[in-house]
A and B are shown apart, each in its own frame.
Chain A
Amino acid sequence: MDQVIFDLTQMPLREVNAALHAPGLAGDFLVENPAGAHNLAVGLTSPVNVTVQGHVGYYAAGMNQRASVSILGNAGTGVAENMMSGTVTVRGNASQSAGATAHGGLLVIEGNAAARCGISMKGVDIVVGGNVGHGSAFMAQAGRMVVRGDAGDGLGDSIYEARLYVRGTVASLGADCVAKEMRPEHLEELAALLKSAGFEGDDPAAYTRYGSARTLYHFHAANSY
């Protein structure tokens, strides 16, 4: 099927999003000249392929369901926030809160992600080609996050059941986040995640797994603040 082109210098954002919300939509779409637009390709529900030629602002592909969105540039705050399913790929770097609260799907950031990557994540898989900033995976509830580079301060603070894999150094771990043993099932899981993001060359054994020590799960005298 032919690719449909939306040029954001010719068509207002609201119309582009409305067109991408058409019921029963299928096919390939190219968005040109995004010029850092906020809220591009948000709330998609159909299994379409959307390629964005350039940089995007806040919340690109927010709340995505089923669609596959590729951003050939950098992404602003909250890319793929609250994604439910589908795939979002950022060719460049992502600003803070990438994949925040996302429930499902796969978010791949080929460059670096800034602070709070995967904050409050609820089931999404996030693979970051470079580093993640401070406060990443804060209160992460479920899902998996892979960091091929380093992680900033306070990784996984108050984390619940999400699993984090970091290859490089971690500046510091947040409250209740601890390094855990890499068992065979984790190596297998990590290998599959790396493959799905196009990094199958990595050795899973070079990564460390982090998760919850589960000491904050119940309020008691020492932790109820």
Chain B
Amino acid sequence: MSFTSDDRSRLGLRESATFDRATIAGIQRAAETGVYDIRGWGAKRALPHFDDLLFLGASMSRYPLEGYREACGTDVVLGGRNAKFPLRLDIPVTIAGMSFGALSGRAKDALGRGASEVGTSTTTGDGGMTPEERGQSKHLVYQYLPSRYGMNPDDLRKADAIEVVLGQGAKPGGGGMLLGQKISERVAGMRTLPQGIDQRSASRHPDWTGPDDLTIKILELREITDWEKPIYVKVGASRTYYDVKLAVHAGADVVVVDGMQGGTAATQDVFIEHVGIPTLAAIPQAVQALQELGVHRKPDGVQLIVSGGIRTGADVAKALALGADAVAIGTAALVALGDNHPRWAAEYEKLGSAAGFYDDYQDGRDPAGISTQDPQLEQRLDPVEGGRRLANYLRVLTMEAQTIARACGKAHVTHLEPEDLVALTIESAAMARVPLAGTGWIPGQGL
């Protein structure tokens, strides 16, 4: 028999805050298997986040803009500093790098369709570029990762931008993983690996270490592609102020900062929950670095893309107000495609999970057909319908961000500024460097 929480309080059963049920289950799992827990999704613990910030809106001292009549721009240009062909996106929300391998071919196809429909970019991942995603994506960013799986100069030339990946928020300092269940014949072929092995990617690039080498590497990529393409550098949020400065010195046109909430397809749980800093803490550090170098929001400047836990248009608006030029979404895009949908509730339960809790992207048995290489499961995702859902979701994010920007009197979403924000908690005020609501106090600044 199982007790409801009412039963438990009647019986005086008290859960330990230190050894809660998830912790106890973790110890038992470790004792049984002798292998650490590998899972997908991002950090699940509560962290200071965008929810801890509020917009002030216009009133006496600021004029709002009218909802439908007055324009509020959303377009962004990325990578104009050195590239002959910068990326011109209609909305400031992009799709983050997620590999074919981690995701099914149909999922990649759907991401490309959805993004292209609203004029934004998608990104390849740790496993190379598939013809399907190139075909469906109007703007495709090609990731250049430590593993170099499927890394091919022809694909480099086909890309619209190149993203040198140093790390991701879910695991700064860690390489990729893909378990055997997902190394199908096609995935294995693209990565030059034996089929069915448990793959771990390198965590360091094989032919450069440190920012001085990266400078030369970036020049190599420019030379190979005849200086046509913007070059991004992606880092997991940790020593963000220094990392961003070094990335700019190394020649990045765009810096991507992924906070610790950022999603993953397969990472050790201990890594996801305990390494890196929250997105909220990373943005002001990145912006400070760009400002000190004189490249923040300048015509020939370096753009900042922020990711890690972006869910709503409010999150988008807050990231932009803190100084990001655009955001990237991973987990939310998968949810928009149909991940964790209640229609698969019975199947999630069979896998020992539940709709809204499913995080076993590493496992390859995704009922929604997204994080799988199983040809049958994959059929469940209709790329056209998935693309339509993602486009809808991206439109909502954009309209929500515009709603807030207009309320703050801004004719473009990137005109939002820290001055429009206040914080609800002392922690978030200190991290985001905006005043605690109702006060002029920014902890750590001034007196």
Which residues of A come within 8 Å of B, CB atoms? 13-14, 17-18, 21, 38-39, 42-43, 45, 57-59, 62-63, 65, 77-78, 81-82, 84, 96-97, 100-101, 103, 116, 119-120, 122-123, 138-139, 141-142, 160-161, 217-221, 224
What chain B residues lie within 8 Å of A96 (beta carbons)?
Answer: 207
Taken residue by residue from 201 to 240, chain B's Cβ proximity to chain A (1 for < 8 Å, 0 otherwise) reads as 0100011100001001101100111110000000000000
Q: A62: nearest residue on chain B (CB-CB)?
A: B220
CB atoms of A116 and B216 under 8 A apart? no
> With the chains together, A122 CA to B220 CA distance in Å?
20
Q: A143: nearest residue on chain B (CB-CB)?
A: B192
If A14-B227, A39-B216 touch, whether A84 touches B197 (CB-CB below 8 Å) is no
What chain A residues lie within 8 Å of B217 (beta carbons)?
Answer: 58-59
User: Considering the complex of A and B, which 7 residue pairs feature the smallest CB-CB distances, nearest first?
Assistant: A221-B34, A43-B224, A78-B207, A101-B148, A97-B207, A63-B153, A217-B197
> With the chains together, A224 CA to B35 CA distance in Å?
6
CB atoms of B207 and A59 under 8 A apart? yes
If A65-B153, A101-B206 touch, whether A218 touches B198 (CB-CB below 8 Å) is yes
What chain A residues lie within 8 Å of B152 (beta carbons)?
Answer: 84, 103
CB pairs A–B below 8 angstroms (20 shown): A14-B223, A17-B226, A38-B216, A38-B219, A45-B153, A58-B208, A58-B216, A59-B217, A62-B220, A65-B153, A77-B207, A84-B152, A101-B148, A116-B207, A141-B192, A142-B192, A160-B194, A217-B198, A218-B180, A220-B35
Closest chain-B Cβ to A9's Cβ sits at a distance in Å of 19
Taken residue by residue from 183 to 198, chain B's Cβ proximity to chain A (1 for < 8 Å, 0 otherwise) reads as 0000000011110011
Q: Does B147 contact A (CB under 8 A)?
A: yes
Q: A18: nearest residue on chain B (CB-CB)?
A: B226
> With the chains together, A103 CA to B155 CA distance in Å?
14
CB atoms of B35 and A221 under 8 A apart? yes
> With the chains together, A183 CA to B123 CA distance in Å?
45
What chain B residues lie within 8 Å of A218 (beta carbons)?
Answer: 180, 197-198
Most buried by B among A14, A101, A103: A101
Closest chain-A Cβ to B311's Cβ sits at a distance in Å of 32
Which residues of B come within 8 Å of A, CB atoms? 33-36, 38, 147-148, 151-154, 156, 179-180, 191-194, 197-198, 202, 206-208, 213, 216-217, 219-220, 223-227
Cross-interface CB contact of B220 among A59, A120, A217, cutoff 8 Å? A59
CB atoms of A62 and B224 under 8 A apart? yes
What chain A residues lie within 8 Å of B156 (beta carbons)?
Answer: 63
If A42-B224, A119-B207, A139-B202 touch, whether A160 touches B193 (CB-CB below 8 Å) is yes
Interface SS of B by simple majority:
loop
What chain B residues lie within 8 Å of A97 (beta carbons)?
Answer: 206-208
CB atoms of B219 and A39 under 8 A apart? yes
Closest chain-B Cβ to A32's Cβ sits at a distance in Å of 19
What chain A residues lie within 8 Å of B38 (beta carbons)?
Answer: 219
CB atoms of B153 and A82 under 8 A apart? yes
Closest chain-B Cβ to A83's Cβ sits at a distance in Å of 9
> With the chains together, A78 CA to B206 CA distance in Å?
9
Closest chain-A Cβ to B193's Cβ sits at a distance in Å of 6
What chain B residues lie within 8 Å of A84 (beta carbons)?
Answer: 152-153
CB atoms of B223 and A43 under 8 A apart? yes
> With the chains together, A123 CA to B227 CA distance in Å?
28
> With the chains together, A142 CA to B191 CA distance in Å?
10
What chain B residues lie within 8 Å of A57 (beta carbons)?
Answer: 216
CB atoms of A39 and B179 under 8 A apart? no
What chain A residues lie within 8 Å of B191 (beta carbons)?
Answer: 141
What chain A residues lie within 8 Å of B208 (beta carbons)?
Answer: 58, 77-78, 97
> With the chains together, A80 CA to B247 CA distance in Å?
25
Closest chain-B Cβ to A137's Cβ sits at a distance in Å of 11
If A21-B226, A77-B207 touch, whether A58 touches B220 (CB-CB below 8 Å) is yes
Cross-interface CB contact of B194 among A13, A63, A100, A161, cutoff 8 Å? A161
> With the chains together, A42 CA to B217 CA distance in Å?
11
Cross-interface CB contact of B179 among A139, A142, A219, cutoff 8 Å? A219
What chain B residues lie within 8 Å of A100 (beta carbons)?
Answer: 148, 206-207
What chain A residues lie within 8 Å of B197 (beta carbons)?
Answer: 160, 217-218
If A39-B219, A139-B202, A218-B180 touch, whether A82 touches B151 (CB-CB below 8 Å) is yes
Q: B36: nearest residue on chain A (CB-CB)?
A: A224
Most buried by B among A81, A161, A219, A221: A219
CB atoms of B192 and A122 under 8 A apart? yes
> With the chains together, A65 CA to B36 CA distance in Å?
42
What chain A residues lie within 8 Å of B151 (beta carbons)?
Answer: 82, 101, 103
> With the chains together, A120 CA to B216 CA distance in Å?
20
> With the chains together, A161 CA to B387 CA distance in Å?
38
Most buried by A among B153, B180, B197: B153
If A39-B219, A220-B35 touch, whether A103 touches B206 (CB-CB below 8 Å) is no
What chain B residues lie within 8 Å of A221 (beta carbons)?
Answer: 33-35
If A100-B206, A219-B35, A221-B34 touch, whether A38 touches B194 (CB-CB below 8 Å) is no
CB atoms of B213 and A58 under 8 A apart? yes
CB atoms of A120 and B153 under 8 A apart? no
> With the chains together, A39 CA to B147 CA distance in Å?
21
> With the chains together, A39 CA to B38 CA distance in Å?
39
Closest chain-A Cβ to B307's Cβ sits at a distance in Å of 26
Cross-interface CB contact of A59 among B33, B216, B226, cutoff 8 Å? B216
